Structure 1
Amino acid sequence: MNILDKLFNRNKSPANKSNIQRIDVMNGSPPIFTPFSGDAYSNDLYRSGVDAIAKNFAKLVPTHVITQSGQRKDGDSTLNYILQTRPNPYMNTYDFLYKMATHYFLYNNSFAYLSLDGKGNLSGIYPLSPLSMEFVIDVTGTLYCKFLFLKGREFIVEYSQVVLLRRFYNSNDLLGDDNKAIMPTLDLAHTQNQGMENSIKTSAQIRGLLKYNQVLSSEKLKEAKEDFIKDYLSIENNGGIAALDTKMDYQPIENKPVLINGQQLDAIKNRIYSYLGVSESIINCTYTEDEWSAFYESTIEPLSTQMSLELTGKLFTQREQSFGNSILLESDKLQFTSNTTKITALKELMPLGLLTINQALEILNLPGIEDGDRRLQTLNVADTNIVNKYQMGGKNPDEGNQNSTDKD
């Protein structure tokens, strides 16, 4: 049995596929996805930008949490194992998140299938790479995704089991727009690469006209040319001098290749990186703390928010969400700061009791210790209620206010 057959063996497909029809949308073209990228991934600048985003996004930790009355606790351990360690038998969480982010920036639509067991619980999450996908509905109005894979394999899955991340969500009601806007820039970058290659090849060649002052047959002319090239235009001719008699004249052809200046190269590079929302310092890993913070908040965080909302909405019912169930993709931002900033933050936060000992050690990339979940707090910081009682001499502040009101 094919992997796809095993994957979709429990999907909620319509009982009668002949009754499904393509959904109508109010705006945009029909909601049909085809992963055309104009071969953008073959461009080294585009690929390096996508890779920088994807590998940083893949560091996030998806977690099922339950938040009630402002108090947060970890949720189901089995679900967290799938989310944080092994989304499916074929990849770990890093691979899964990396692939989702890569598809997101290549195709502006990224799909994942939520596989459920017989009891309706999540058993795996699989990123999908379909040849095409279109939205369809059945007679009851239920929305489905109709996927087409290699070898003509077709699967229809209920939309509630599909995670869909959309970029440039504008003209179409159900899908993100394509990458046509960046294709002229990628074509220009390709032309630049070809121009540089041809310039190097051209500059390495010596061209000229060899004129003989006597009539020679075609065979003799060709032989004389080969001898001239061998004697004077080969790399063995270190002196660069050609000795000629009256039998021939050599006239070199001056060839000035058109070179591309650095400003033109940087302009194309910056346009591609700006389109992706990444800077060269992020790609080269030479970023400062402020540059990393700007990149995280403008590029990584919006994508993590989108995936968090999708997973929460698809894995939990409205009632379960009302009880505080959600999926969060989080990262410890302090892990990417300098040691000086980390130490400064710990000096400010630890006296307030905001961090446990193990949380502080984790920020410093150190292993935790036994009984390290305790919170330490300086005696210089007291609870507000205790301060009020101290100032009132042990009296209830409300009673004091009441007495002053009665006297008035």
Structure 2
Amino acid sequence: MSTLKNAIHNLLGWDRPTAYNRVVNANTVLFSSFGKDITASDIVKTAIHRVCEEVSKCSIKSVIETQNPHRITVADDDINRVLCGRVNPICGLKDFLYKCAYIALVNRNCFIYWAYDEVPIKVDGKDYVKRVTRGLYPLEKARVKLYYAGDEMRAELQSATGGGVTLDLPYSDLIHIRVGYGANPYLGGDANGQADWRAILKNLQTLHVIQESIPKSLEASLSLHGILTMRTVAEADKREISRKEFEQHLFNSEYGIVATDYESEFTPIQIATQDIPQTVLTFLRDEILSPFGVSVPIYLGKYTDDDFTAFYQTAVEPLLMTIAEAMKITLFTASQITHGRTIKFYDKVVQSLSFARRLEIAKATQEDALLSRPERRELLGYDPDDEPTRVSLNYIDVSIANTYQLTALSQGKKPTAPKQNKEDDE
């Protein structure tokens, strides 16, 4: 195995057979000691899963987008060949997108290693080197250090355990997905380039205390508690009764009544369960879900079109745009981007609007070509098919409408539009 492959495997954690068999143990009480693992919470895991699952339903493609007229053509290149098959040895496109979204949401940064081969080519008699993509690897277990070497920004990658081979490469060769970019000049997250989960951890701690207190309160309420006071009748100076004697009287009693010459008085102590107001539980759940852009209907899986539209536009679409842009600026040169090379995502399964609403928009913009055919297909979640945009012949340019009517009147004709020709419509 080559040194480079060893380095990649080290960074991905593939050097240990059980690296991808690790699971988060949600049964361990983490937050009673103010732990930092937010994914130990079922609420957090479900919220993250909702976002990642919708992101993974999309397809991303390398395309050529030209203007005037607007046209989108799916490129026949090595990038699409990778995206259509195995993005890396253990991931298809769906798993790849899910993994990228998961790492980005939890860490606020996701680095993707771009594996490529350099192939010499000739263009107009000049020698060039073309990069042919072999795979894309989300770096889950790598420590990434960014630094400048002269005017060039570089990245130093090392396995999370601190051992193995350190890989040094230009930062421009890394696909860097940033969530919440702003506080740090280079990284997503807080000013230190990390995820700040302090507010969520406080809410999780409170919820954890409530969850622990409920069974204890219930158990206490079902137990018998009280004070037993006994006074002797036969012997006024006797104040105590032995445990053995008391049990003997109790067990020998036919009716479960203590038959003794000691006068006793039992004073019960009532312990009632504490009801947690529903508003408190709802508030905590909302506070935990809100940083991920997930509402309660989405969390419960019982949502309307409007609920899903808000969720898609708030949590899913921005992350997809970040992934697509991060891939574009790394996989293509400035010259290629200028000539229309880009990465686009298509939500063939994900729908920010209901299909009925999208179809209404597509039909309303068809007759006057307000949207081109590629744009309408994109609106409906379909890939471009390279077919031309067609419109009805019943419509003319408004700038020549008066001329058309005057010409028709001068010829003694009624200025009406020709009959609808359905074959001319799309």
Shared fold (TM-score greater than 0.5)?
yes
How far off is 1:333 after superposition? 8.4
Note if 1:188 corresponds to 2:200: no
Amino acid at match of 1:381: Y
Conserved? CA contact 2:57–2:349, under 8 Å: no
Structure 1 position 373, deviation (Å): 5.8
Give the corresponding residue for 2:108. Answer: 108
**Alignment of 1:269 onto 2:285:** yes
Given that residues 342 and 364 in structure 1 are in contact (C-alpha distance below 8 angstroms), is that contact kept between their aligned partners in structure 2? no
Q: CA 1:316 to 1:372, structure 2 compared with 1: closer, same or farther past 3 Å?
A: closer
Structure 1 residue 155 and structure 2 residue 153: aligned? no
Partners of 2:101 and 2:140 lie apart in 1 by 13
1:222 Cα deviation from its structure 2 partner: 10
* 1:339-382 alpha-carbon deviations (Å, 9 max, x no partner): 6535544543554566869x88x9599xxxxx996866444334
Does the 8 A contact of 2:78 with 2:133 survive in 1? no
How far residue 306 of structure 1 moved from its aligned partner, in angstroms, is 1.5
| Native 8 Å contact 1:199 1:259 kept in 2 | no
1:288 aligns with 2:299: no
- Per the alignment, do residues 336 and 317 of structure 1 end up closer, same or farther by CA in structure 2, a change over 3 Å counting? closer
Partners of 1:383 and 1:222 in 2: CA distance = 107
Distance 1:182 1:211, change over 3 A: same
Instruction: Return the letter of the residue paired with 1:60.
Output: C
Q: What corresponds to 2:45 in structure 1?
A: 47
Matched, 1:307 2:323: yes
Aligned to 1:165: 177
Give 1:211 deviation, angstroms: 6.1
The answer (yes or no) to whether the contact 1:114–1:162 under 8 Å persists in 2 is yes
317-326 vs 75-84, greater mean Cα deviation:
75-84
Letter of the 1:272 partner, please give it: I
Secondary structure at the aligned position of 1:303 is classed as helix
| Equivalent-residue separation in structure 1 for 2:320 and 2:402 (angstroms) | 43
Structure 1 residue ranges, 4+ long, deviating more than 6 angstroms after superposition: 221-228
- 1:118 to partner: Cα distance: 4.0
Q: CA deviation at 1:383?
A: 5.4
Give the structure 2 partner of residue 316 of structure 1: 332
What are the within-5 Å matches in structure 2 for residues 318-333 of structure 1?
Answer: 318-332=334-348
Q: 1:335 to 1:222 in 2, by over 3 A?
A: farther
2:241 corresponding residue in structure 1: 215
| 1:146-183 residue CA offsets vs partner (Å, 9 max, x unmatched) | 33334723432422222222223233222222223432
- Aligned residue for 1:122, secondary structure, equals strand
Say if 1:325 and 1:343 are closer, same or farther in 2 by CA, change over 3 A: closer
- When the two chains are superposed, the root-mean-square deviation of aligned CA atoms in Å is 4.1
Whether the 8 Å CA contact 1:136–1:146 is kept in 2: the answer is: no
Structure (1/2) with the larger helix percentage: 1
- Give a deviation string over 1:86-134, Cα, whole Å, max 9, x none: 3112011111111211122212112211111243321111111126332
Aligned residues of 2:7 and 2:165 also touching (Cα < 8 A)? no
Cα shift at 1:5: 3.6
State the one-letter code of the partner of 1:193: Q
TM-score by length of 1: 0.71
- Aligned partner of residue 407 in structure 2, secondary structure: coil
- Give me the whole-angstrom Cα distance separating, in 2, the residues matched to 1:53 and 1:160: 28
Letter in 2 for 1:310: A
More displaced 10-residue stretch of structure 1: 118-127 or 311-320: 118-127
1:136 aligns to what?
Answer: 147
| TM-aligned CA distance change 1:77 to 1:2, over 3 Å | closer
Structure 2: unaligned runs, 5 residues or longer: 12-33, 120-130, 232-239, 409-426
The secondary structure found in structure 1 opposite 2:272 is coil
What's the CA shift for 1:317? 0.9
Structure 1 counterpart of 2:419 = none
Question: In structure 2, what residue type is equivalent to 1:198?
Answer: K
The alignment partner of 1:100 has SS state of helix
Q: Which position in structure 1 is the counterpart of 2:81?
A: 81
Q: Quote the Cα distance in structure 2 between the aligned partners of 1:382 and 1:242.
A: 101
Name the counterpart of 2:221. Answer: 203
Tell me if the contact between 1:62 and 1:84 (Cα under 8 Å) persists in the aligned partners: no
Q: Kindly provide the amino acid, as one letter, of the partner of residue 187 in structure 1.
A: Q
For these two proteins, the number of residue pairs brought into alignment is 350
Q: How does 1:343-362 map to 2 (within 5 A)?
A: 344-345=360-361, 347-352=363-368
User: What is the deviation of 1:249?
Assistant: 5.5
Residue 203 (structure 1) shift: 3.3
How far 1:77 moved relative to its partner?
4.1
Q: Tell whether 2:395 aligns with 1:381.
A: yes
1: CA distance, partners of 2:306 / 2:178 = 28
Q: Is the partner of 2:166 in helix, strand or coil?
A: strand
Aligned 8 A contact 2:313 2:352 in 1: no
Structure 2: which amino acid aligns with 1:163?
I
Distance 2:159 2:103 in 1: 17
Pairwise CA distance, 1:53: 1.0
Which one-letter code corresponds to 2:302 in the other structure?
T
Gap change, CA 1:49 and 1:3, over 3 Å in 2: farther
Question: Aligned in 2, Cα 1:297/1:364: closer, same or farther, shift over 3 Å?
Answer: closer
